[in-house]
Amino acid sequence: MGTVVSSPVRLKDGARLYSVLHPAVGRHPRPVTVVLLHGWTLDNRLWRQQIADLPVRLGAPVAVLAFDLRGHGRSSATRGADANLEQLGDDLAEVIEQLVPRGPIVLAGHSLGGMAIMEYAHRHAAEFARRVVGVVLVSTSAEGSSRTSYGLSPRLARVMRVLEVQGAGLLARSGAWRPHRPLMPLLAPGVRWLVFGHRVDTSWVALTASMVGNAPLCAIGGFRPSVDLHHRVDTLAAMSGLPVAVVVGSLDRLTPPACAQTIAQELPDAELVVCPEAGHMLPIERPDAVTDAIVSVLRRSRHRNRHAVKRAQEAGAQG
């Protein structure tokens, strides 16, 4: 890819979001930009395999932008009230305005990042309709955590949810500390069980533990209530007519296949990909499947655009 540009994006409220922009290589009048949004407690490193593979797999110029969501990675910590999905949707709008002011966009979001895309479509509907030419939703939900079972029985899942919500409330008030960072090697077995499927490489767990260890306590706990309240099934209508791919692991304990099926039911033309034996961390766990989904959406968006241009030309000739 082109020369990597990494810089903080300063938002209107003073927050800074760390971003990494990989410009398109080669000449193209309007290269598509793929904007990648990571999941809860993670950062832009989640997408490193997709960033490396996309240009080669697509065989055409493409720009790629990945950034750390508010409260994550190298971005500004949350301040309590701004740890919510509505804020993430607004942040996405500002990032696009500053870093991708022109040209078509494909949005790809994992988990919390997918929910942020839905919030952007809800809160910035006109801009979404004008700029976005495709969407990839990976291991995410339009129904919050209502279907989250943690891979447990319904009774144990209810107990787990209560404990998680209570713990999140405490963490949300704990500030931007990261006391769990040195403990992540000890917590690695729990991370492995919760977010991965049957086949796991130790490097995947190490990267995930590193990203979680870099997330401050206030973000880990702060976003939990907003995820619970997230319900954007109706907003999916904004994506109808666009090329959309929905990708989920068959063993996902956090956003199980039922979440993906709900999205696919609302978007009958969407491509639904279920990765056998895989868990929640698909960009790491099944990188080729995620890259293939993004490439498929990019190609379908180009095909759709060519047909639209041809129809417009034919209409002009007839007029």
Most confident of 147-156, 186-195, 240-249: 240-249
Average pLDDT, integer, range 16-30: 83
- Token look-up 């479509």 returns 121
Has residue 1 got a pLDDT over 90?
no
Q: With CA atoms as reference, report the closest residue to 205 among 221, 216, 190.
A: 190
Long-range contacts of 258-263 (CB under 8 A, 24+ apart): 258/147, 259/140, 259/141, 259/142, 259/143, 259/147, 260/137, 262/141, 262/142, 262/143, 262/233, 263/137, 263/140, 263/141, 263/142, 263/236
Do the Cβ atoms of 40 and 69 come closer than 8 Å?
A: no
Do the Cβ atoms of 270 and 246 come closer than 8 Å?
A: yes
Q: Do the strands 16-22 and 62-67 form a parallel or antiparallel pair, or are they unpaired? A: antiparallel
Average pLDDT, integer, range 265-282: 97
Has residue 204 got a pLDDT over 50?
yes
Has residue 8 got a pLDDT over 50?
yes
pLDDT value of position 304: 72
Do the Cβ atoms of 121 and 128 come closer than 8 Å?
A: yes
pLDDT, tens digit, 9 for 90 and up, residues 212-229: 999 888 888 888 888 988
For residue 193, give both structure tokens. Answer: 């069980």
- Token look-up 């704990």 returns 174
Has residue 277 got a pLDDT over 80?
yes
The sign of the dihedral angle between the CA atoms of 158, 164, 167, 172 is: negative
pLDDT value of position 224: 85
For residue 55, give both structure tokens. Answer: 């240009």
Query: The domain that contains 63 carries what CATH number?
Result: 3.40.50.1820
Has residue 236 got a pLDDT over 50?
yes
Query: Which carries the bigger pLDDT value, residue 104 or residue 145?
Result: 104
Quote the percentage of the chain above a pLDDT of 70: 84
Number of domains, the chain: 1
Averaged pLDDT score across all residues of the chain: 87
The angle, 0 to 180 degrees and rounded to 10, between the axes of the packed helices 202-213 and 184-195 is 110
pLDDT, tens digit, 9 for 90 and up, residues 50-101: 999 998 999 888 999 999 999 999 999 888 788 899 999 999 999 999 999 9
Q: How confident is the model at residue 305 (pLDDT cuts 50, 70, 90)?
A: low
Has residue 188 got a pLDDT over 80?
yes
Has residue 27 got a pLDDT over 70?
no
pLDDT value of position 128: 98
Has residue 318 got a pLDDT over 80?
no
Residue type, 234: D
Has residue 118 got a pLDDT over 90?
yes
Q: Which positions ≥6 away from 131 have C-beta within 8 Å?
A: 96, 100, 104, 105
Average pLDDT, integer, range 137-141: 98
| pTM higher than the cut 0.85 | yes
Q: With CA atoms as reference, report the closest residue to 246 among 254, 232, 236.
A: 236
Which of 6-10, 144-148, 152-156, 233-237 has the weakest average pLDDT?
152-156
Q: Which residues pair with 67 in a beta bridge?
A: 19, 37
Do the Cβ atoms of 266 and 100 come closer than 8 Å?
A: no
Quote the percentage of the chain above a pLDDT of 90: 66
pLDDT value of position 19: 96
pLDDT value of position 213: 92
Has residue 33 got a pLDDT over 90?
yes
Average pLDDT, integer, range 136-164: 75
Do the Cβ atoms of 116 and 93 come closer than 8 Å?
A: no
Q: Which residues constitute the domain of residue 291?
A: 5-318
